[in-house]
Structure 1
């Protein structure tokens, strides 16, 4: 049975109307106040009675109530327990605090709707109303918990903004892009000048961050492909684990700069050691500074370009080996070009390869050529590493 709310006012209401308005007002207010109201039992013991109630977690209605035990008291020190409703499965329970001379309430989980705090005195054998502090709040669900169903915010413009304060120094905004009105978009911005830092972090040690585009979808930057489901590269050799921070953008290596211009900085027909800063290598390639000391292989991509007007066959080759060993690779590439002497001849190649590195992350390179009547350009990019 319901009642019509009437604000009691003894200054204007008659002696008959005034108590009736009090009854009506209390009846309406009690409909809200009685839900999950905590109190002592008719026969007090180490438990709390929680009146039946209902609460909505998103679109899901949760009903609960009943007798909640708080456990035996500590013989020496008091403690504070929490009586909570678990929004995941609608169960009632108590979270025990730690006994102490000045006890504090335990921390609830995000999925708990807090009903009350219970002061459990040292040696107590029963819980009374004086021991119970009502902590119910209809705002609890807005501050945390698991929300089921759908949340629709439709006020025009941005649908959701998360702002750190009154000043729009940084914010997260989700909206329908006007350029692509049928797509779902997320905008993370900084007003005016300044850089944007998007930090996606996994706090679990050894955990992965999965960027799943589903099926054959692509990850794009300014319309250019950054990653596809096929960009993971070949499997690691037996006994190694692949690690790579560098990926392909439109099939051109987007790697740790700078590139290594082999023909410019390394002497021809001579084995030259290459390594990171401080490695003691003959040539310091700072791109290798990103490779950890635990790495055993580096993955490289080589680009070679030849052009000539010579009528003899121009040949360019590249070989690699681990620093400190005499065992080297066969040709990583062997490129040839020949001109008729009138028309300039061109040729280029691109190849990916792996090379072992020593404990200082060094490897050796040897590039050579025959009958150079033109020019040769050999560039290496660091793509990743293996441990």
Structure 2
């Protein structure tokens, strides 16, 4: 399953295997995506939506086909998919443009991208606690939610703990008080099947670069009737119907929210990434990563000086700390062993405070990860422990 041969980035400059365990930050790119981007930048390149010449029309078809592939991947309609620069921009779009601002319920484990936009846009924030094993406590959320809440915004999968939200129940709780549910799907979409209709959420945001696609592209899915009721966030070309100095009218969604020349090539690359993971199957990817998480946690649990964070059924992510070793030191020593992990607060400082640490070490898997990567990680940890004695 590991598919390492599809990923040219998984070797060092000297040609040795590179044990990349930082997929939660950004995923390596398969050759199919690289080829799609290269072709789009080369013999296919033209602008979209404006040209009357053949290549522009063909590029427009490719760009809109990418939107359709994104919609198919998450079970939505293509006219409900807005291309954004990533999940951060998608959440900002909702925070600023959703017309019924009020109270928003977040959780302790949220990424900064699902905290700061709500603060900047003037929402009143309440924070849902976690269960002892690091999941969003939906029993507490049920007690906290009131009719004053117009939005609930939760991570579908935690970028630090790998804990998976019961999104269907979260939607039921939000809707019971008249609130909408936004899911940050950055860590979910690359590693499990997502169906927005079955989840019954109202907004779903994710980034392309964690889904084996390019940087600078992501998507916001939202129910059509909600998008229809939302005013544009940014103004410029492409998002208009008619412009005069006295009044401007706007295009329907999703174009209303895509001001300016879009990330054409990046969108096509994202479409290729969707095709790539769909051909493998997200259920198979999830099962593969679950086996790697279980094996890693079992090995680390056998080390007395290692603390594991998060639930046993974490999706694709293992966060841990070694007593007496700062995660940055561990990351530096592992790098000497051609092992790449993430070390730090992972853009989740409130969660670090909750855990009582400044930082954690995080190993995160992709569909290309395998047991050799785990073995290299464990060898590096043992070397680090010997160094720090």
> TM-score normalised by the shorter chain: which range applies?
under 0.3
TM-score scaled to structure 2, two decimals?
0.19
**Structure number with larger C-alpha Rg:** 1
TM-score scaled to structure 1, two decimals?
0.19
Which is strand-richer, 1 or 2?
Answer: 1
